Amino acid sequence: MNGYLLCILAILLLGYLLDLTVALLNLRSLRPELPLEFAGVYDADQYARSQEYTRVTTRFSLIHNTVSLMLTLVFILMGGFNLIDLAARSFALSSIPTGLLFTGMLALLSTALNLPFSVYSTFVIEQRFGFNTTTVATFILDGLKALLLAVVLGGPLLAAILWFFETSGQMAWLYCWIAAVAFILVAQFLAPVVIMPLFNKFVPLAEGELKEAITRYAATQRFALQGIYTMDGSKRSTRANAFFTGFGRFRRIVFFDTLMDKLAPAEIVAVLAHEMGHYKLRHIPVMMALSILQMGLLFFILSLFLGNQGLFAAFGMEHVSVYASLVFFGFLYAPISTLLAIGFHAFSRRNEYQADRFAAQTGADGAALISGLKKLSVSNLSNLTPHPLHVFLNYSHPPILARIEALRRLTAGTTSH
């Protein structure tokens, strides 16, 4: 059997077994006893409901992963990629349009296969636990808008990458990297003013107690506010969040309207202080820089596998092409991607602790941040006792109890002085 095929099958199966093991460990780590930190915040029924939510979503994820693995294996072993390639080539176009067709067909097929799972997750599981507020019309429109963005934005970028790899020789990976970086930077400026408004409405925060409190806190940090907005997150879900987006004069602070309903003004200011901590401590540009370096590594390694005959034989391909190389390389890159993701998650968890510390040390009420985190955990039915391996592999934020413990130590240390 082809060595590349054996390697790809092993990567797929080992990745699946790792996810299965972690999911089962995470289910076993659920504890029926409510942590003392949440006494008086969760009642017994709510806590049991949060654990049931973890069980249901985990089992559903396992079913989804199992079906996806089986379909992927069948598709590879039955020559599905070659059939899609022959269909794309039947239009007798040049290599770049053919590559766009090939990639588009695969994307549409993947979307179609995942659609039933997305529908069930949204309209059955999320509905059952009181999160879903998405209408069928909104669900369909979101899908169509995402497809439009993929064609309008992703299509030209993919075409540029294919063109560089076909025409630029050994330095093609570098040109692709530069093009992708430019695309990301432009998208960061476009997102808050063009892309995000396609999906949500952004309304300037009304005058009042909350805006005054935010303005006062921002002034203490010499932070020039470019705009404070609320977003109609309740259009799709009852979950709450807040974030910074954009750069320069396009920079925005955004609160979900659901957050405004669930937290008191002092708690919202504390959440804002946490987000501002990410900005002040330069977490956002550092994470972006690391992502850009990762992308450069990806393009360089990809360049080493372009047109690899053994790799194409593993997928039963009749023709060798740059565009199919991009897809097949993704299978081989998966273990590297997993290792890099572990590093990114660890760095992100560190950043979250630092942003919490910033909020507590710069005038925001540490107790308000703790109470706000608790309320958000309850409203989102968060798992309070995730397994350490699950956290290590998948969590970009520390577990909520660990964050609260760190904040309490910080508050105690500040008080003792």
Determine contact, residues 327/106, Cβ cutoff 8 Å.
Answer: yes
Choosing from 275, 318, 352, 365, the catalytic residue is 275
From CA 238, how far away is CA 51, in angstroms rounded? 18
Listed in sequence order, the residues at least 6 apart from 73 whose beta carbon sits closer than 8 Å to its beta carbon are: 9, 12
Alpha-carbon separation of residue 341 from 63, 84, 290, 336, 379 (angstroms): 23, 30, 11, 8, 28
Choosing from 85, 356, 365, 405, the catalytic residue is 356
From CA 412, how far away is CA 383, in angstroms rounded? 26
- Asked about 275 being catalytic, the answer comes back as yes
Per the DSSP assignment, residues forming a β-bridge with 252 are 245
From CA 391, how far away is CA 398, in angstroms rounded? 7
- Asked about 356 being catalytic, the answer comes back as yes
Token pair for residue 266? 């002092």
Determine contact, residues 380/320, Cβ cutoff 8 Å.
Answer: no
Q: Is residue 242 classed as helix, strand or coil in its secondary structure? A: strand
SS (H, E, C) 273-307: HHHHHHHHCCHHHHHHHHHHHHHHHHHHHHHHHCC
Counting every residue written for the chain, the total comes to 417
Known catalytic residues?
A: 275, 356
